[in-house]
Amino acid sequence: MKRRKFIKKSGLSVGGMLTFAQVKANTSILSTDNQTIKSPVCIATWNVENATRAAWSVLKEDGSALDAVETGAKIEEADVNNQTIGKGGRPDREGNVTLDASIMDHQGNCGSVVCMQNITHAISVARKVMEETPHVMLAGKGAEQFALEQGFQAEDLLTSKSAEDYQKWLETSNYEPVINIENHDTIGILALDAEGNLAGGCTTSGMAYKMAGRVGDSPIIGAGLFVDQKVGAATATGMGEEVVKTVGSFLVVELMRQGHSPDEACQMAVERIVENNPEYQKIQIGYIALDKYGNSGAYCIHPGFNYRRYDNKGHQLITPGSHL
């Protein structure tokens, strides 16, 4: 039995907030404060064209934002050519591929998995944690066992390409994160559906050749991902440790709550990291954000970061501003 049974509401809430019902994919609706709501829309870190296309295929049929972000993330998790997520991800120093993921819906429900092995679709397991358990996060063998109990199939996540790269790395064992590695690392997806509901997801295999047990920002709610239905959503990519230190995605959403645009909020969150880290030039951080009206924005430390946006106007690859 699911631990949460969602109650659908209609009309105006006590606080006067407008709720949304049966809004078609090719329409816009007007909010109570006279801002046009541009929905549905999905955005994702990096040039993950196939992922945003898959997410949009859900949204355009009036599917939920939660289904959209999961569907999009699964595309990248299954792509063995993407060595930073899911099957084919680069291993840790011990040669094990470990996955982290988180997901969050418009009601503040969330779930995540940490250091999970042998299961490709970490984003889906995170959703199961959210919907089928009283917990928010499951880790390591516990996460894997839970996934198997839920019907997920175990498989070897280390592909021949990633194994070959790992053997080459062992020759020097030099650990130095590479900025904008292969143009992407963590994949974060945010969506606003036709009913005006927000959701977000984040999935990664973490830093290549990380210490065993290392966890970055991706599975940590508030760091790698945060969703607030009254404001908007944000997700991060890059050096996870720095995002955790500033609770980055939560910070972006709170800045939007104060009235800043998604672009401004992302820039201010990046500048917070720059101010606190004298060696910021050695790292990359990128944020993307989506407000409750469907406006999106992003910002990063180094040039080279981009994000995808898919809405009724089409499929765009957007290059945001950068500190350097």
- Closest Cα partner for 281 from 175, 181, 179, 184? 179
Q: Calculate the CA dihedral of residues 177, 187, 29, 9 and round it to 10 degrees.
A: -120
Give 279: exposed, middle or buried? Use CB within 10 Å, 0-12, 13-18, 19+: exposed
Q: What is the CA radius of gyration of the chain?
A: 19
Q: List the catalytic residues.
A: 186
Q: Calculate the CA dihedral of residues 64, 249, 266, 13 and round it to 10 degrees.
A: 50
Cα(308)–Cα(183) distance, rounded to whole angstroms? Answer: 13
Cα(298)–Cα(324) distance, rounded to whole angstroms? Answer: 14
φ and ψ of 291, to 5 deg: -90, 175
Cα(9)–Cα(260) distance, rounded to whole angstroms? Answer: 29
Q: Is 64 left (phi over 0), alpha (psi -120 to 50) or beta?
A: beta
Q: What share of the chain is helix, strand, coil (3-state, %, to 5)?
A: 30, 25, 50
On the question of a cis peptide bond just before residue 320, with omega within 30 degrees of 0, the verdict is: no
Per DSSP, 76 falls in state: H
Q: Which residues contact 4 (CB under 8 A, 6 or more apart)?
A: 107, 109, 131
